[in-house]
């Protein structure tokens, strides 16, 4: 796969991710929810989080800035890995996976880096505005990540009483709220895990060496 094709994947994901986030930010109050295509299990549900994947909370006091700085460091590393893989003619599936991960990382970096500066704060009563007169709601790197995709396939179901510990309690599956960037990262990582042998094929030379060692051991 060429660098141009990888760049197209990255650009497309970033475009869809940011257009959707900006639209939600400027048109929804926080926690506002609507059904998509009338489906109860597919909703747009606007929430903001500190930036951890899939809406996870960061317990540490300085966790937000630490996460933002980590992303700023790791994104160029992933970018270097991508370019290196393309130059070495790595498997197409590997390049696609890295492109997805890189695009997702950059997508959420944009939120943390710029959204606090460009937008006013969102809450349950107020829709945010772009470039507010009094300035944004946070400094660079402290912006919140916009999440909106929600798929509660099973909602508020009651577990049977005979189940230890959780019996009688309600649960929702799938209760994470996420965005396109999160999906890209998860898909990329999933490709690396599921198709590990295809994305990281053993070189013929290494395979031959291993086979020769086994034959020598047997002899």
In this prediction, what percent of the chain has a pLDDT beyond 90?
67
Which of 40, 123, 147, 209 is labelled catalytic? 147
Spatial CB neighbours of 117, under 8 Å, sequence gap ≥ 6: 135, 136, 138, 139, 140, 143
**Catalytic residue of the set 17, 139, 156, 182:** 182
Annotated active-site residue 182? The verdict is yes
Respond yes or no: is residue 17 known to be catalytic: no
pLDDT class for 216, splitting at 50, 70, 90? Answer: very low
Percent of the chain with pLDDT over 70: 86
Average pLDDT over residues 78-104: 96
Q: Which two tokens stand for residue 161?
A: 């009483």
Q: Work out the pLDDT band at 52, boundaries 50, 70, 90.
A: low
pLDDT band for position 7 (cuts 50, 70, 90): very high
**Does the pLDDT at position 172 exceed 60?**
yes
């Amino acid at each position: 796969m060429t660098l141009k094709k990888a760049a197209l994947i990255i650009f497309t994901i970033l475009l869809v991710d940011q257009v959707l986030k900006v639209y939600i930010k400027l048109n929804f109050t926080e926690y506002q929810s609507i059904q998509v295509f009338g489906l109860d299990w597919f909703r747009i549900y606007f929430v903001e989080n500190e930036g951890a994947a899939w809406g996870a909370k960061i317990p540490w006091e300085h966790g937000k800035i630490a996460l933002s700085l980590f992303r700023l460091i790791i994104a160029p590393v992933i970018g270097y890995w991508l370019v290196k893989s393309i130059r070495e003619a790595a498997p197409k599936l590997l390049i696609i996976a890295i492109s997805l991960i890189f695009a997702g990382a950059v997508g959420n970096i944009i939120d943390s880096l710029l959204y606090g500066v460009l937008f006013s704060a969102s809450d349950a009563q107020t829709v945010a505005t772009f470039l507010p007169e009094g300035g944004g709601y946070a400094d660079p790197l402290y912006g919140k990540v916009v999440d909106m995709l929600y798929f509660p396939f099973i909602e508020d179901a009651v577990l049977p009483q005979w189940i230890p510990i959780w019996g009688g309690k309600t649960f929702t599956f799938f209760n994470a709220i996420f965005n396109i960037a999160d999906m890209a990262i998860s898909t990329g990582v999933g490709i690396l895990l599921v198709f590990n042998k295809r994305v990281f094929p053993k070189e013929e030379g290494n395979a031959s060496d291993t086979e020769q060692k086994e034959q020598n051991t047997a002899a």
